[in-house]
């Protein structure tokens, strides 16, 4: 009994560094290094998993102790996580906000505690942008516009489109819709005949498309706000006897590996890359913010568009 107690005592510092409060990284030799809280939105898509891995990997490489929280798609969980990080006195917080609104109170709490917040991948709507240090994200309006331009070119400006939206209230869902609508505005014969949320999830993309393909058998194109929903929709279209990639053109956003495989297989026509490998940029920003430097309010991550014809050559290069 005594021996066990002694062993536990000896192990305690190790256990606290490695596992305490959901800690993912850390290293006992870097006790002087930063402790960062990462409030992740969830694990709804391959993109999100790649983002989590990038941030976790970067923390390990820099000897940062990372406290990780997965909000499982619920803003209330994410707010709780941020409050928890503030209570623990972390050096900074990385936040991937699920939705745009509702952040003001907790960001003010972080500000009062003098804990900088670095936003990654999604923006927030607040009355004072001094409530966060910086935002590192793609230009979602431009992504939607790129998808629309591609579809307009491919169809000669004529399409019956079903849109699968991301999580309601999320910056990429709002802006990808806006960008796409702006892109098709000049083409009166490009119409969105139905538009529904699939919450950025493959299973919901499939479910939603199962119903929509029955209600709108005249569809000629699908625009999905992310690849996972497009991949789910492809399954539903096939089950309904359609040929995705041929008689229904499918365009989506993210550029994950499975999308390249689907393009190679001729089921997906186009994906607009949205780079999730934000770890290096996020920690550069964290280090500067902790050092008291003023950062630009937004760093835009550059995206590219890929068509099916490029898929086979590009597939081996994909990192996520």
Shortest distance in whole angstroms from residue 285 CB to ligand GZL = 16
Cβ proximity to ligand GZL, 69 vs 138, nearer residue = 138
Q: What is the 3-state secondary structure (H, E, C) of 205-235?
A: HHHHHHHHHHHCCCCCEEEECCHHHHHHHHH
Residue 56 to residue 37: CA distance in whole angstroms: 11
Q: Which is nearer to ligand GZL, 193 or 305 (CB)?
A: 305
Handedness of CA 279, 282, 285, 291 (dihedral sign): negative
- Burial label for 307, CB within 10 Å (0-12, 13-18, 19+), is middle
Least Å from the CB of residue 239 to ligand GZL: 23
How far is Cα 184 from Cα 192, in angstroms, rounded to an integer?
Answer: 9
User: Per-residue DSSP letters for 57-70?
Assistant: HHHHHHT-EEEEEE
CA–CA dist 56, 270 (Å, integer): 30
| Least gap, CB of 42 to ligand GZL (angstroms) | 8
- The 8-class DSSP code of residue 31 comes to T
Question: Residues 6 or more apart from 189 whose CB is under 8 A from it?
Answer: 157, 158, 159
Residue closer to ligand GZL, measured from CB, 173 or 184: 173
User: Whose Cβ is closer to ligand GZL: residue 23's or residue 197's?
Assistant: 197
Which residue number, 85 or 200, has a Cβ lying nearer to ligand GZL? 200
- Region of 81 please: left (phi>0), alpha (psi -120 to 50) or beta: alpha
Taking alpha carbons only, the member of 41, 43, 67, 71 closest to residue 56 is: 67
Least distance (Å) between residue 120 CB and ligand GZL: 8
By C-beta, is 34 or 274 nearer to ligand GZL? 274
CB 234 within 8 A of CB 250: yes
In the bound state with ligand GZL, the residue whose beta carbon lies nearer, of 48 and 242, is: 48
CB of 233 to ligand GZL, least distance (A): 14
Nearer to ligand GZL, 44 or 100 (CB): 44
Q: How far apart are CA 125 and CA 72, in angstroms?
A: 21
Separation in Å, CA 102 to CA 72, 105, 120, 125: 17, 8, 17, 8
Taking the complex as a whole, the smallest distance from the CB of residue 166 to ligand GZL amounts, in Å, to 6
* Closest separation in Å from C-beta 96 to ligand GZL: 7
- In whole angstroms, the minimum distance from the beta carbon of 286 to ligand GZL comes to 18
The residues that touch ligand GZL, with contacts defined as CB under 6 A, are 44-45, 47-48, 121-122, 137-138, 172, 200, 226, 253-254, 274
């Amino acid at each position: 009994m005594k021996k066990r107690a002694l062993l536990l005592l000896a192990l305690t510092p190790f256990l606290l560094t490695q596992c305490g409060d959901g800690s993912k990284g850390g290293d006992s030799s870097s006790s002087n290094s930063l402790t960062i809280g990462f409030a992740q939105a969830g694990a709804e898509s391959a993109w999100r998993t790649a983002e989590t891995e990038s941030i976790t990997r970067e923390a390990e490489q820099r000897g940062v102790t990372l406290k990780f929280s997965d909000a499982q798609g619920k803003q209330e969980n994410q707010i709780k996580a941020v409050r928890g990080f503030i209570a623990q006195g972390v050096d900074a917080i990385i936040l991937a906000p699920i939705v745009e609104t509702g952040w003001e109170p907790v960001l003010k709490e972080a500000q009062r505690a003098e804990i900088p917040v670095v936003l990654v991948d999604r923006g927030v709507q607040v009355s004072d942008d001094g409530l966060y240090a910086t935002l590192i994200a793609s230009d979602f309006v431009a992504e939607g516009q790129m998808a629309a331009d591609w579809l307009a070119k491919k169809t000669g400006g004529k399409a019956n489109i079903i849109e699968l939206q991301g999580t309601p209230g999320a910056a990429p869902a709002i802006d990808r819709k806006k960008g796409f609508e702006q892109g098709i505005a000049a083409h009166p014969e490009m119409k969105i005949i139905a538009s529904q949320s699939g919450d950025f999830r493959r299973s919901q993309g499939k479910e939603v498309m199962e119903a929509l393909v029955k209600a709108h058998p005249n569809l000629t194109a699908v625009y999905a706000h992310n690849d996972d929903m497009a991949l789910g929709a492809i399954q539903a279209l096939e089950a309904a006897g359609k040929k995705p990639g041929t008689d229904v053109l499918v365009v989506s956003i993210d550029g994950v590996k499975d999308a390249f495989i689907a393009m190679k297989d001729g089921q997906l026509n186009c994906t607009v890359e949205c780079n999730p490998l934000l770890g290096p940029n996020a920690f550069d920003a964290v280090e500067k913010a902790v050092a008291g430097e003023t950062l630009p309010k937004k760093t835009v991550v550059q995206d590219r568009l890929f068509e099916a014809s490029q898929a086979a050559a590009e597939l081996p290069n994909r990192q996520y």
